[in-house]
Structure 1
Amino acid sequence: MSSDSLPIPDDLVQPVPISSTTFFLTAALIWSTLFYTKNPLQYYLKYVTYALIVIVVATFTIFLCLLRPCDARNVAVVAKVLSFFFQIFQIDIQLENSKYFQSKEPFILVCNHQSSLDFLTMMKVWPGGNCTPLAKKELFYSGPFGLAIWLCGITFIDRLNPQKARGTIDKLAKKINDENLRVWIYPEGTRSPSTNLLPFKKGAFHLAIQAQIPIICVVTSSYSNFYHKREKKFDFGGKVKVRVLPPFNTTGMTLDSVAQLTKHLQDLMQREFDLLNKEIGLDQKYYIKAKSNEETNEKTHDVTRTFVQDLDYTQISDVTQMNSLISQTDLTSQLQNDSNNNSVTEDDTGKKVN
């Protein structure tokens, strides 16, 4: 019999089984390579990873919050967990003036809204305490995430029904003082990746005046240098500057001043946004200026604060002194004041930033 006709043992033709450990190690290696190296799939992989982290943490949050359902303090715990996992994106978030969150009184926090990555900066900046974001009602129906944020005590608002929205604001105004609540609001109402803030909706400012509590503006620099949805860019080494502005006290103001206050604080945040983008070296190709605002931008490009600078907050060491000084100031006349001063803030190390 020739060697060609010899039978092949069965154990030689069977496929070699791959252990689950080998499979997961291989998958992890491929994921890590695509995640951390520049390639066409990096944007999608990083964004999917970001979404999966949020969904997984939200699922565990549901069970955690059953011990303390619908309590706004739950968010502080979730913020710490998410901030830990978000470190894999290697985004350097620099927070300035966090001392303004140390107030024991309730306040409204307003922040510019750029993209879904705002959740990343929100969790890093989270002011702590009894704080709740104001979110659109549609988020409640977003699966585990919607259920989790409801259990975290998030306040939902129906943007499509003005009457219900006003009712929500009225109830929240009473709840703020009764429960010493802080409320985080994105006054633009929708995401804007450009360097022009969208027109602010008045709800946040109406709420602050109705509750007679301060407004704290938080301005986040553009993400465009490392993240851009249209360009499918999600790079490493991103840098974000977040600047907390001194509280603006609304004590004594009436609802007649809502429009004026809204415009003033939007101008204030736009100027700080422009400054922050300069400081991080934002690529000029991302600067988008609306024609209707060109003249205003030319006049205010190098102007930083009006109301807050007149009070010289750099000499104030704590929030109590700050509120005392604000209460002695004529708010209406300060709103109309357009004096030109250079912005001076402090980072969390106490170092002055010009």
Structure 2
Amino acid sequence: MSSDSLPTTDELNPNDCTCCFTTGLSVFLSIWIVLFYAKTPLQFYIKYATYALTVIFFALIVMFLCLLRPCNPKNVAIVAKIFNILFKIYDIDYEIENAKYLQIKDPYILICNHQSSMDFMTMMKIWPGGNCTPLAKKELLYSGPFGIAAWLCGITFIDRINPQKARGTLEKLADKINDDNMRIWIYPEGTRSPSTQLLPFKKGAFHLAIQAQVPIVCVVTSSYSNFYNKKEKKFNFVGKVKVRVLPPFQTTGMDSDSVNQLSKHLQDKMQKEFDLLNKEIGLDEKYYVKSKNDKVDNDLTRTTFVQDLDYTQLNDLTHLNSLINQTDSIYLSQVQSDSNNNSINEEDQKKSQ
């Protein structure tokens, strides 16, 4: 072809370029959508990439929205509503029990089991509203747009590598909890675990609750393994997640000596609820971790539990159990009467605006 036959710059039609780009984009999106819904080996990667890109893309938008009130924890309530709309493409059925316990007016520490990056969807689904902030590892701050958006949303970051700095962060947070009527969301396992056996709980959440003398609300989420499993490259539709919120555990009267036993007590309780939820959703048996002491009765389990704590005396255990098992009518009277109401109360809605 001679140079005379090539189109010059003046002869190029912008409309043709636009048409080519639109056609190419349409073809790419069509292929992407087909792979998203088709049963192919690529489906896991396409779905996970869609999930990750959705989060990153929206994080860019959140960065600008949060500039109106930067570093305000109430920003997350707005973010949660929008993400819940976007995440509907995954068709995950969430059943939430006792959401009323998230609506108590006083500050509290919320602890939840930590399974995978899918926990972000669960967090957005059951976000308690109000002045709530998750406690996140400092490394998340450097994760691009998502980290910046998290900072602008008022997320509290903790340096897990430096114990002294981590302790200082918790001490400052303890002072703010009651002053600002805050709710703190913490994953006490400290890292993700897809297993049906909870990892040992870190003590930070319990030190924080006792130092601030605020209750602990346990949130237990059933396993995602029936529809999502990274190792098996499985990401199915029509998934079911069952979430159970336990009544608030009072820490009034406890001190730092109670931390170890309190964390073990609540981990034991959450493990039992986790097992129950997994049975209720019909989790495949291959995902269960068999315990050596499945048939041990409650009394023997409690005796073994006490012996593991070499510093604990029987009198201290009795006193701690009485504190743990207290039912404070003040908190229960503040809970909405409708146990099926999964939204935040009107006062929290006004505060979040």
Please report the TM-score for the alignment, with normalisation by the length of structure 1.
0.80
Shift of 1:335: 7.2
> Any idea what SS the aligned residue of 1:288 has?
coil
Shift of 1:32: 1.4
Q: Is the 8 A contact 1:159 1:165 kept in 2?
A: yes
What do you get for the CA RMSD once the two structures are aligned?
2.2
| Aligned equivalents of 1:178, 1:225: Cα separation in 2 | 42
Structure 1 residue 220 corresponds to structure 2 residue 221: yes
Structure 1 residue 43 corresponds to structure 2 residue 44: yes
Q: Output the amino acid matched with 1:348.
A: N
Show the counterpart of 2:236.
235
Show the counterpart of 2:262.
261
Q: May I ask how many residue pairs the two structures share in their alignment?
A: 298
Q: Is the 8 A contact 1:271 1:300 kept in 2?
A: no
Q: Is the 8 A contact 2:44 2:235 kept in 1?
A: yes
| Aligned equivalents of 1:331, 1:73: Cα separation in 2 | 38
Gaps of 5+ in 2: 8-15, 299-317, 326-337, 343-353
> Any idea what SS the aligned residue of 2:30 has?
helix
Show the counterpart of 1:272.
273
**Alpha-carbon spacing, 1:336–1:21, altered in 2? closer, same or farther (3 Å):** closer
| Aligned equivalents of 1:185, 1:299: Cα separation in 2 | 30
Larger RCO, structure (CA 8 Å, separation 6 or more) = 2
Q: Is the 8 A contact 1:216 1:245 kept in 2?
A: yes
- Deviation track 1:261-290 (CA, whole Å, cap 9, x = no partner) reads 00000000000000000000000000123x
- Deviation track 1:152-203 (CA, whole Å, cap 9, x = no partner) reads 1111111111111111111000011111100000000000000000000010
| Aligned equivalents of 2:200, 2:219: Cα separation in 1 | 16
| Aligned equivalents of 1:254, 1:187: Cα separation in 2 | 19
| Aligned equivalents of 2:211, 2:296: Cα separation in 1 | 33
Q: Is the 8 A contact 2:100 2:341 kept in 1?
A: no
**Alpha-carbon spacing, 1:245–1:331, altered in 2? closer, same or farther (3 Å):** farther
Q: Output the amino acid matched with 1:333.
A: N
- Deviation track 1:329-352 (CA, whole Å, cap 9, x = no partner) reads x86134799xxxxxxxx96279xx
Show the counterpart of 1:333.
321
Show the counterpart of 2:340.
348
Shift of 1:21: 3.2
Show the counterpart of 2:88.
87
Q: Is the 8 A contact 2:253 2:323 kept in 1?
A: no
Which is further off, 27-36 or 77-86? 27-36
Show the counterpart of 1:77.
78
Q: Is the 8 A contact 1:261 1:335 kept in 2?
A: no
| Aligned equivalents of 2:162, 2:295: Cα separation in 1 | 38
**Alpha-carbon spacing, 1:283–1:78, altered in 2? closer, same or farther (3 Å):** same
**Alpha-carbon spacing, 1:23–1:173, altered in 2? closer, same or farther (3 Å):** same
Q: Summarize the alignment of residues 1-354 of structure 1 with structure 2, pairs less than 5 Å apart.
A: 19-289=20-290, 293-295=291-293, 297-299=294-296, 332-334=320-322, 348=340
Shift of 1:57: 1.0
| Aligned equivalents of 1:160, 1:186: Cα separation in 2 | 17
Please report the TM-score for the alignment, with normalisation by the length of structure 2.
0.80
| Aligned equivalents of 2:168, 2:6: Cα separation in 1 | 76
> Any idea what SS the aligned residue of 2:292 has?
helix
> Any idea what SS the aligned residue of 2:296 has?
helix
